[in-house]
Amino acid sequence: MNITKTLDAKGFACPMPIVRTKKAMDSIESGEVLEVLVTDKGALNDFTAWSAASGHTILEQKEEVGVLYFYIQKA
């Protein structure tokens, strides 16, 4: 997987990870991949719902040492 951009949103609570992700997505091209790092556990539901509503695809999500990683492909 080729990651185009990484967004570090660790330490932010809802809704800031989504707000920052939307801004970062606006800066990349269709088909490119954004890596997002968050620590807010609510992001699991937030990112799933936001991606579905915006048409983007979560290619992968994982958790390592309390950090959630999302790999989102822009629609």
- Record the pTM: 0.95
pLDDT tens, residue order, the chain (75 aa): 899 999 999 999 989 999 999 999 999 999 999 999 999 999 999 999 999 999 999 999 999 999 999 999 999
Confirm or reject CATH 3.40.50.11890 for domain 5-73, answering yes or no: no
The residues annotated with a catalytic role in the active site are 14
The residue ranges of every structural domain in the chain are 5-73
Cα–Cα distance between 31 and 21 in angstroms, integer? 15
Determine the pLDDT at residue 73: 98
Determine the pLDDT at residue 16: 95
Q: Which residue has the tokens 């570090």?
A: 8
Edge to edge, the sheet with strand 5-9 lists: 5-9, 33-38, 67-73, 57-64
